[in-house]
Chain A
Amino acid sequence: MKADSPTKEALNKSASGMRRKAHGAQKTRHNMGLGESSSTAQRSDSPAQPFKQCFPKAKSLMSIPTGADRSRQAFLSRSTLITSVVLVIGMAAVVILNALPASSPLHVSAATVALLGKYFTYMLLALAVDLIWGYLGILSLGHGAFFALGGYAMGLYLTAQNAPLQGWQAPLEFFPVAALAIVLTPGLLALVFGWLAFRSRVTGVYFSIITQALTFALMLAFNRNEMGMGGSTGLTRFYELLGFSLASDGMTVALFIASGVAVLLAFWLCRMITVSRLGRVCVATRDAEARVRFLGYRVDHVKLALFVVSAMIAGIAGALYVPQVGIINPSTFAPLFSIEVVVWVALGGRATLYGALLGALVVNYLKTLLTGAVPDAWLFILGGLFVLVTMALPQGIAGLLAQRRRRREVSA
């Protein structure tokens, strides 16, 4: 790598020379009135383009488009290993510190464990959003809906432990049925919604808007008492899960571990998808959808498959969220929540997977800190963060890390 860097530079130089020449040729042809649309021929569709124009200095560091994880061919890349190890060590550390006697200064209380467990479910949700946004360019501003549906399925199951449910909800009393509902309800909704949207080639901002409409419509529906979902108060007063009391510290730790394991498994699943040929088709679709179609791939099927997988992951996240927080209500369907999820992913860095995990953790930790300290300012801070990241760090924290690593490699 290092040895051929001068050659590479020379190559780059000659390449740019060639481009200039090409440009010249194009121009003359244009003057002849023969170039059908020669002015567009030079335009690049690279997503990093506007940023490059704003920050010319960052050009060399930006030369690799989004999601550049050069080791993406292999499942066991550096980032997969580091993320997995960090997750496992983090989980183990929390569990061990929690087991310390309460008098110890290092003791982590059950409340903190529950909070961290909640962060895990948010990380899972961020992962789901990154899978379709980062790799496929589908910006869903309604992923909170799938999260909430999974949550409601779990909520109904937990409610059924207190008193039997009525009507169609009755079967949810059994855990296997509830578990299926947790995965299938969001999956089915995503299947129908995605089929309609992708078949009609609804993309970009239009898709984002209808996902907002979707989650808003569901919020209104779940607010109604006739839905049998507790109306605007939602479902709460959960006492037992699988026969164990939810109030016990053991249960808190168990849910924390379950959430962590879910994050790890989902991370591996997403990683598996994104390193496969399908993952490359996704990236190709994100950057040049028409081209992929002309290669013979069914773009709508690819999008639908990933959208459904993503919705299912979001559903599982919601189901793990509910017993740890103790309540699920229509505010989870609120469009604002779904937008917040997108901010986490943007801040962490798109198309890296670990960036989404990092972003969800950082933003939510900040939220916990700041809503305590300066409750009124939180939304401003969140908005400011989003603006800042979009302007200065379009690749998010993950991009920053990758940049530093590249710099180190160059200087070494």
Chain B
Amino acid sequence: MSVKTNDRLERLREFTRPDRVFDFLVPVQSPVDVRHGPILYLEDVSVSFDGFQAIDRLNLTIDDGELRCIIGPNGAGKTTMMDIITGKTRPDSGQVWFGSRHDLLTLDEPQIANLGIGRKFQKPTVFEALDVTENLELAMAGDRRVWRTLLARLDHEGRSRIDEVLETIGLGDERHRLAGVLSHGQKQWLEIGMLLMQRPRLLLVDEPVAGMTEPEMQRTAELLTRLAGQQSVVVVEHDMGFVRSIARTVTVLHQGSVLAEGSMDEVASDPQVVEVYLGGEEEAA
């Protein structure tokens, strides 16, 4: 028997392994590899829209379990950066890695979401025609394939998980109300609740406290700080008071690249930052 035949037999055996009859039934296990530290790694990412350089050679590293705030003036590319991470926008060049195993540029939005990256939009986006519980149910981690979704029933575990999240976000009394009739702040909370249901490894939170009252803001700050540690959280926010209250590390974006990075005080005393951003605020205030 030649080596070639042997090789062929070996390949045939692959097909007849009893534990692997239906490959497509084996769930795809894709744990995020964070042994090397960072959970999110952006290198030299650039993207331009019609000649406008939205992101310009951006480098950013988020460690596992970190809570990072990203600030920056209008058009600094904060939302575009989130679009790139979640697969909505493809960069012209550069690399984006989730852990050290997953190249996010080869995946699309649902795949990235199922890997464990959750996103909260700037404008609260909840499903207005569904009630609060249903919104949370849809966000619940689970099999997202069409047939499974058709047959899915809310089991006891799922129900208690929803109750748990409802309590966390303080919408227990609104559980059967349509999401469309909630107040702006409540919608923000519901969307945060949906993120929690997803159990993501990395949360991208775009302006979580826009339109919230002072006590609501405090509760949000509390929640986000509590989440960090188990999950990595990236917060884009304009509200300086809020950023000051939660931030350990702050990254300042300006014209599509990182202008400064460090603790809030370091960043605030950086003359460049003061010029493009914080100074403007003080003047206005």
Q: Which residues of A come within 8 Å of B, CB atoms?
A: 12, 14-16, 18-19, 21-23, 25-26, 29, 31-38, 40-46, 63-68, 273, 276-278, 280-281, 283-284, 286-288, 290-299, 301-302, 305
Contacts and interface: CB of A to CB of B under 8 A. Distances in A.
Contacts of A33: 73-74, 280, 284
Interface residues on B, range: 35 or more
B74 A287 contact: no
Given A40-B123, A287-B128, A278 B146 contact: yes
Interface of B: 73-75, 78-79, 86, 88, 109-110, 113-114, 118-119, 121-123, 125-130, 134, 137-139, 144-146, 149-154, 178, 180-186, 194, 198, 207, 210-213, 238-239, 280-281, 284-285
B122 A32 contact: no
A305 B137 CA distance: 21
A287 B180 CA distance: 11
B138 A284 contact: yes
Contacts of A23: 211
B119 A283 contact: no
A35 B121 CA distance: 14
A34 B281 contact: yes
Given A295-B198, A301-B146, A22 B211 contact: yes
A296 B128 contact: no
A22 B123 CA distance: 13
Given A41-B211, A280-B127, A298-B144, 7 more contacts: A16-B183, A19-B184, A33-B73, A65-B128, A66-B129, A277-B150, A294-B86
Given A34-B281, A41-B210, A283-B127, A296 B150 contact: no
Contacts of B281: 32, 34
Contacts of B75: 36
Contacts of B149: 276-278, 281, 297, 302
Nearest to B115: A296
Given A32-B285, A294-B113, A15 B138 contact: no
Contact of A18 (B152, B178, B180, B213): B213
A163 to B, nearest CB: 43
B119 A26 contact: no
Nearest to A38: B210
Given A22-B185, A22-B212, A36-B78, A295 B113 contact: yes
B73 A65 contact: no
Contacts of A295: 113, 138-139, 144, 194, 198
Interface centre among A34, A40, A64 (most CB of B within 10 A): A34
A284 B285 CA distance: 41
A26 B134 CA distance: 29
A29 B110 contact: no
A18 B150 contact: no
Contact of A291 (B78, B121, B150, B280): B121
5 contacts: A22-B210, A36-B79, A66-B129, A278-B146, A302-B146
Contacts of B88: 290
B74 A36 contact: yes
Interface centre among B119, B150, B281 (most CB of A within 10 A): B150
Contacts of B153: 277
B210 A46 contact: no
A281 B86 CA distance: 20
A283 B130 contact: yes
A281 B138 contact: yes
Contact of B186 (A15, A278, A291): A15
A46 B180 contact: yes
Given A294-B119, A295-B113, A296-B144, A63 B125 contact: no
Nearest to A16: B183
Nearest to A284: B127
A277 B152 contact: yes
Given A277-B137, A298-B144, A291 B123 contact: no
Contact of A22 (B110, B121, B138, B184): B184
B183 A293 contact: no
Contacts of A292: 138
Given A36-B75, A276-B149, A293 B113 contact: yes
